[in-house]
Amino acid sequence: MTTDVKSSARERLLEAAATLTYRDGVSIGVDALCKAAGVSKRSMYQLFESKGELLAASLEERAAAFVATLLPAADDGRPPRERIMHVFDQLASQAGAPDFQGCRYLAVQIELKDQNHPASRVAHRVKANLTAFFRAEAERGDASDPDLLARQLILVFDGASARAGIKADTPAGLIAPTVTVLLDAAGMR
């Protein structure tokens, strides 16, 4: 047997779902997921109620790492403006990787269309939390309209992520000046 004995069927399914859906999209079939994980369909359905539940669990499992790679530490002492720029610096860095496919949470929302799908709900929450981070920092930085600025920032984040993910553009040299203009216009300190 070639599968790692220490890796449970559940863990292998979550990993296969993360890898295959990021690379090929959420329309990947159950057969392909099970084959990649080395797990029978019967086992998959014993572990997860549906493919949708598997996708949601896979997204949920990666949410903490997504946040950890993007957001600065809560107690880093930097001003709000720098904390916001940190997120975009991280995005620019990630977008430079050859296997970068964009934000997996945005992709799920676009592909599924159904906001009530379990994976869509997880993706929506993760993206809402990122928007809430922008809003909180905008408030701390005395932005003139924190809600508007947060919405503008998530728009830039998603747009840059999507364009880099489809290899239509490289965000290097584009993100920071764009975000700077938004922060300046909002009176961020």
75-92 pLDDT tens trace: 899 999 999 999 999 999
> Any idea where the domains of the chain sit in the sequence?
59-185
Find out whether 59 and 105 touch, Cβ atoms under 8 Å.
yes
- Main-chain dihedrals φ then ψ at residue 25, nearest 5 degrees: 100, 170
Q: Is the pLDDT of residue 2 over 50?
A: no
Say what the pLDDT of residue 3 is: 45
Rounded mean pLDDT of 59-78? 93
- Main-chain dihedrals φ then ψ at residue 47, nearest 5 degrees: -90, -35
Q: Is the pLDDT of residue 34 over 70?
A: yes
Find out whether 138 and 154 touch, Cβ atoms under 8 Å.
no
Q: Is 8 helix (H, G, I), strand (E, B) or coil?
A: coil
Rounded mean pLDDT of 134-147? 97
169-180 pLDDT tens trace: 777 788 999 999
Q: Which residue has the tokens 């920071």?
A: 176
Q: What is the CATH number of domain 59-185?
A: 1.10.357.10
C-alpha–C-alpha distance, residues 33 and 53, integer Å: 13
Give the range among 1-5, 14-18, 54-58 with minimum mean pLDDT: 1-5
Q: Is the pLDDT of residue 125 over 70?
A: yes
pTM: 0.90
Indicate the average pLDDT of the chain.
Answer: 93
Res. 6 pLDDT band, cuts 50 70 90: low
